[in-house]
Amino acid sequence: MLANNTTIEQPMELNKELIESIIAEERIKILFQPIVSTYQGKVAGVEALARGIDNEGQFIPPLRLFEAAAEADLVISLDRLCQRKAMEAFSMRPPKYQDLILFLNVDNSVIHLDNNILAINDYASDVHLSPDQVVLEINELASADITAVQNFVQRYRNLGFMISIDDIGAGYSNLDRIILLEPDIIKIDRQLIKDVHSEYYKQQVVEMIIRLSEKTGSLVVAEGVEELDEIMMVLQYGAQLLQGFYISRPMDMTVTRLEDLDDVIAQISEAQKNHLANHLIGKCDFNVRLRDKFHRFNNQFKNYDDKLLANTLEDLLIDFPEIECAYVINEEGHQMTNTVFNKSLPTLHAKSLFTPFKKGD
């Protein structure tokens, strides 16, 4: 991810000598991607993103840069350089935006290798940055030394820093890290956010993560939002913060660039208001239609036969595609009909391990 209108040309071979020169000459460019709060109607924070600069002046993507640094056994030096440069750049933010929160990436794969575990605190002190304005963003937890990470988190939390877990819901299971690290902020992985408005299973996972965050007292960042429909869905479920290309690509942090986001935030807030209104209207309409349907079916339920009830339930599911299955039970809780499934949905009745209740159960 780069600033608008910036292109990447293929850099030269990333050998150890090049990485050493980048570190020695501090050839690192820091860009910031805004994180916005529609509840507050403003930019709440920024994530610092580092780019290496090769000998030709071209940007080197961070993933490739850090992979090369790891191969050259220089990842600790590079990681610390990026953190220091990020704090220095953040400390120069415009006076109007002094209350912004800095999200700072921490490569936890080197936490257990680094003897100077409090280096980040030292860098913050050097630029007079209060720890409570910094979120340490822990990533790559699948391969982490979790004990070392816990110790790191505890030390920095005691100093006043906030802790975030990145990529929740990514390709590996890391929900147990929420229990172990008790993060202040959870960032939902961009692959879960992509097309969440149209993919049912993603919706269920995203909603589950947000509900979990509510129980644990964590804020949620929906990362990688690129479509307004995605934003509407995650806000409907309760996400508090948004980050992604729909809002802004990584950029230099100037008053002009930050103020340009006011229109985007206002647009999202207006769309959210309309979305929630339409959602509530839809729920009310559903309830009214369902109640009216049952009123019309009342006599059929009282004077039923098996075929008539089965046809009635099938008609109900045609009119209400939101409903997966239907059946009738009596006051004693005994099922008076077989379970009828909505034929338009891929339901569990086709699964060999799932046996729906039948008449008499």
Q: pLDDT (tens digit, 9 = 90+) per residue, 55-99? A: 888 999 888 898 899 899 998 899 999 999 999 999 999 999 999
Q: Which two tokens stand for residue 264?
A: 């985007």
Contact 60, 14 (CB under 8 A): yes
Q: Which residue has the higher pLDDT, 288 or 53?
A: 53
* Average pLDDT of the segment spanning 170-192: 82
Q: How far is CA 307 from CA 10, 223, 304, 314, in A?
A: 69, 51, 8, 11
Contact 122, 130 (CB under 8 A): no
Q: 42-51, 155-164, 328-337, 352-361: which range is least confident on average?
A: 352-361
The mean pLDDT of the chain is 85
Q: Which residue has the higher pLDDT, 31 or 348?
A: 31
Q: 52-61, 240-249, 334-343: which range is least confident on average?
A: 334-343
> What's the pLDDT score for residue 123?
95
* Average pLDDT of the segment spanning 313-338: 84
Give the position of tokens 């103020």. Answer: 259
> What's the pLDDT score for residue 44?
95
> What's the pLDDT score for residue 234?
95
> What's the pLDDT score for residue 21?
93
> What's the pLDDT score for residue 142?
57
> What's the pLDDT score for residue 298?
67
Q: Is the pLDDT of residue 11 over 50?
A: no
Q: 36-45, 85-94, 118-127, 300-309: which range is least confident on average?
A: 300-309
Q: Which residue has the higher pLDDT, 241 or 297?
A: 241
> What's the pLDDT score for residue 301?
63
Band the pLDDT of 268: cuts 50, 70, 90: very high
Q: Is the pLDDT of residue 276 over 70?
A: yes
> What's the pLDDT score for residue 279?
77
Do the bridges between strand 42-53 and strand 101-106 make them parallel or antiparallel, or are there none, so unpaired?
parallel
Band the pLDDT of 3: cuts 50, 70, 90: very low
Q: Is the pLDDT of residue 176 over 90?
A: no
Q: 37-46, 77-86, 300-309, 330-339: which range is least confident on average?
A: 300-309
Q: Which two tokens stand for residue 327?
A: 């059946």
* Average pLDDT of the segment spanning 147-170: 89
DSSP one-letter string for 205-224: HHHHHHHHHHHHT-EEEEET
Q: How far is CA 232 from the centre of its chain?
A: 13
Kindly state the DSSP code that residue 100 receives in the 8-state scheme.
P
Q: Is the pLDDT of residue 287 over 60?
A: yes
Q: Is the pLDDT of residue 140 over 90?
A: no
Q: Which two tokens stand for residue 10?
A: 């293929």
> What's the pLDDT score for residue 133?
96
| Three-class secondary structure of residue 345 per DSSP | coil
Kindly state the DSSP code that residue 360 receives in the 8-state scheme.
T
Q: Is the pLDDT of residue 143 over 70?
A: no
Q: Is the pLDDT of residue 329 over 90?
A: no
Q: Is the pLDDT of residue 294 over 80?
A: no
Helices and strands in the chain, H and E counts: 12, 11
- Candidates 78, 175, 87, 84; CA nearest to 129 is 87
* Average pLDDT of the segment spanning 12-29: 89
Q: Which two tokens stand for residue 122?
A: 């030292």
Q: Is the pLDDT of residue 1 over 60?
A: no
